[in-house]
A and B are shown apart, each in its own frame.
Chain A
Amino acid sequence: MTVQANATRSQRVWYMTLRGICALGFVFLLAPIVVIIPISFNEGSFLNYPLSGLSWRWYEAVLEPFPWMFALKNSLIVAVATTVIATTLGTLAAYGLSRADFPAKAIVFGILISPLAVPVVITALGIYFFFARVGLVHTHIGLILAHVALAVPFVVITVSATLQGFDWNLVRAAESLGASPLGTFRQITLPLILPGVLTGAIFAFVTSLDEIVVALFIAGPAQFTLPRQLFAGLRDLLEPSIVAIATILIVVSITLLAVVELLQSRRERIQGQARP
């Protein structure tokens, strides 16, 4: 949005205000995230500027087995299991939906992504009731199953979107050249949809890693994940190790975001101009 030479005075004022609001908006979005990172390196235990010195002490505190490393272990177990299950189920389902045309297709798709349409607290409540009946509350398996339900819509959506742009003639070409259906899937389809599948997997991983509401309902102390532990920390005693954990999570998020961006641009490059 550049101001043209023939803009009127009121137009210029308008542009300046707009630019001002945008600048404020971006600062607002990023400031909290940026500002707390240095605090995690503070030598003193005050969550404030100016820093009394730089030190790794809070990160060292985080490395203690309890509570953070334990919570990290739980988070990783649950997130990895969720990712594997959700990606597999979601990819198969998206593939199945894209191959055939049955009348209820739209309804089925809607049901598969319905967890996105309901507030998480409701989902958590329902799952809590159900799991209480079948003894899955305060178990790792229960948490994993719940996370899969929350994460799988993202996989379904990303893989479906990828398959929409997929040229099915490639499958026919591969078969005409002698590849069996399984061989075709392995050599042609999977490599081409892999960026979409990986993106979905990353969404699933992040969803599970950051998930707090369901964990609040059904995770017992033995299953406390990082967010759950973080929540307890925020409620009770505000300690700088909280900020260290937050910083670590921020770095992880940004890294995963970067990976997804890379996957997207790689996909665009490959499928770019391969058609006449």
Chain B
Amino acid sequence: MIVRADTVAATGEHSGRSLEAKLRAAQRRRKLKAVALVAPLFLFIIVVFVFPILSILYHSVDDPKLPLILPRTAEVVAQWDGGALPDEAAYEALVNDLRDAYEAKTAAVIGMRLNYEISGFRSMVMRTARRAKRIEEPPYQASLIGLDERWGEIEYWRAIKASSGPFTTRNLLAAVDLERRWDGSVGRAPPERTIYITYLTRTFWISLWVLVYCIAIGYPMAYLIATTTSQRLSRILLVLVLIPFWTSLLVRTAAWVVLLRSEGIINDFLVNVGMISEPLSLIFNRIGVYIAMVHILLPFLVLPLYAVMRNIPDSHMRAAGSLGARPVSAFLSVYLPQTLPGLAAGSLLVLILALGFYITPALVGGASDQMLGYLIAEFATRSGNWGMSSAVGVLLLLGVAVLYPVYRALLGRGAIRLV
């Protein structure tokens, strides 16, 4: 008793539009609703986060100051080949530009910029700018050199040319202790500037050791919390890990500052108990940095590790035992491999966080314990050197980015799971 197709009354739809088109229209409406919900946040993140991060890349190579403040000079110097001292036209341009700059009060800015090229350039520029309006007619070259004989030295003109922008590789090269020479070759920067690789290696070194300590202490802790038979104890221990996790980084660092000082609680206790006669130096050095950083980052390792360990059934180790494996080898071949995803996730988290640390080493470390983040902050907020802070920022970003493929390679694709 099948109702036959020819009894159907034609209503509404006529089969003119294809099935796919109708389907797509319905799907499009649903997608639009979902997009409308996600769009506000998406746009917000793009504007307030993604765009600024990308702008760091831009600022690492951006060099707008000279063409802006000394436009005529920039133009003339662009034609100059740098082989011998430039001619009168350049000096004329420079005098005019410096006079304008002095009036516009931008001379200090360009002085600062040029100082990055050659030390002492800033005071030279300031002095010349102040007197520039007195030089009203040729010979400009002689007058300038009369003001300061360094204007007759070719390095200074080459420095000007190197700063004419609009883009420069200066910052990026400097961030890895290199500089571009006059002949175009790239070589090691002068010793007073080759601090960056040191900072980079130090940052990685400290981060890796922090990770090692975190694993050494954290793995057993996670294991204990995950395998404790008493549910209550497990919860309590977990809360004990969560408390420091929820306490702000600054508060914890502050606590360590209070504890580790030479007149601090720890030293006081040790002296009173008679274990030592002189207070230990626990702060403003590497030890303090390690102690504080491990303290802050330990929960980041324990929590993901615990989450994975929790799901490993007890029966696995028992099965291994019943099959003849001794505890150590059972652990190594059955338990440990299954904890690797959690270990990998926690380690990645700890490393990424550690590499970016700067507050804690700034508060509990000494001069030789500062990390890349410190340089970034100093350049940006203290010396206003956006170019260098961006370049070091790029360096840090690359350092962090390199972690992902390394992890993938070491632990295989499935090892990294976010959250």
Contacts and interface: CB of A to CB of B under 8 A. Distances in A.
Contact of A99 (B33, B227, B255, B261): B33
Contacts of B400: 118-119
A204 B19 CA distance: 46
A186 B397 CA distance: 43
B356 A22 contact: no
Looking at A48, A146, A206, the one whose CB has the most chain B CB atoms below 10 A away is: A48
Contacts of B335: none
B356 A120 contact: yes
A129 B56 contact: yes
A200 interface: no
Contacts of B356: 119-122
Q: How large is the interface on B (under 10, 10 to 19, 20 to 34, 35 or more residues)?
A: 35 or more
Interface in A171-210: 206, 209-210
A18 interface: yes
B312 interface: no
A89 B223 contact: no
Interface string B344-382: 000000001101101100010000000001001100110
Given A32-B295, A97-B34, A125-B56, A119 B353 contact: yes
A46 B377 CA distance: 32
Interface in A1-45: 1-2, 11, 14, 18-19, 21-22, 24-26, 28-30, 32-33, 35-36, 39
A29 B241 contact: yes
Nearest to B253: A234
A212 interface: yes
A216 B377 contact: yes
A36 B352 contact: no
B248 interface: yes
Contacts of A209: 248
Contacts, number: 260
Given A112-B45, A231-B250, A126 B53 contact: yes
B377 A119 contact: no
A29 B298 contact: yes
B332 interface: no
Interface residues of A, number: 84
B220 A119 contact: no
Interface stretch (B82-90, B121-129, B388-396): B388-396
A18 B224 contact: yes
Given A47-B258, A97-B38, A119-B396, A148 B217 contact: no
Contact of A24 (B30, B217, B244, B253): B217
A142 to B, nearest CB: 10
B246 A206 contact: yes
B295 A234 contact: no
Contacts of B269: 49
Contact of B246 (A100, A149, A254): A254
Given A26-B221, A33-B244, A130-B55, A119 B352 contact: yes
B41 A112 contact: yes
A262 B236 CA distance: 14
23 contacts: A1-B228, A22-B220, A32-B255, A36-B255, A47-B258, A89-B41, A92-B41, A93-B40, A96-B35, A99-B30, A99-B33, A111-B45, A112-B41, A115-B49, A119-B373, A121-B393, A129-B59, A152-B41, A156-B41, A212-B248, A243-B254, A253-B246, A253-B251
Given A33-B247, A217-B381, A243-B258, 9 more contacts: A32-B252, A33-B252, A93-B38, A102-B34, A108-B38, A122-B397, A128-B381, A254-B243, A257-B242
Interface of A: 1-2, 11, 14, 18-19, 21-22, 24-26, 28-30, 32-33, 35-36, 39, 46-49, 89-90, 92-93, 95-97, 99-100, 102, 108, 111-115, 117-130, 145-146, 148-149, 152, 156-157, 161, 206, 209-210, 212-213, 216-217, 227, 230-231, 234-235, 238, 242-243, 246, 249-250, 253-254, 256-257, 261
Interface of B: 30-31, 33-38, 40-42, 44-46, 48-56, 59, 216-218, 220-221, 223-224, 227-229, 237, 239-244, 246-259, 261, 263-265, 268-269, 295, 298-299, 327, 352-353, 355-356, 358-359, 363, 373, 376-377, 380-381, 386, 389-390, 393, 396-397, 400, 418-419
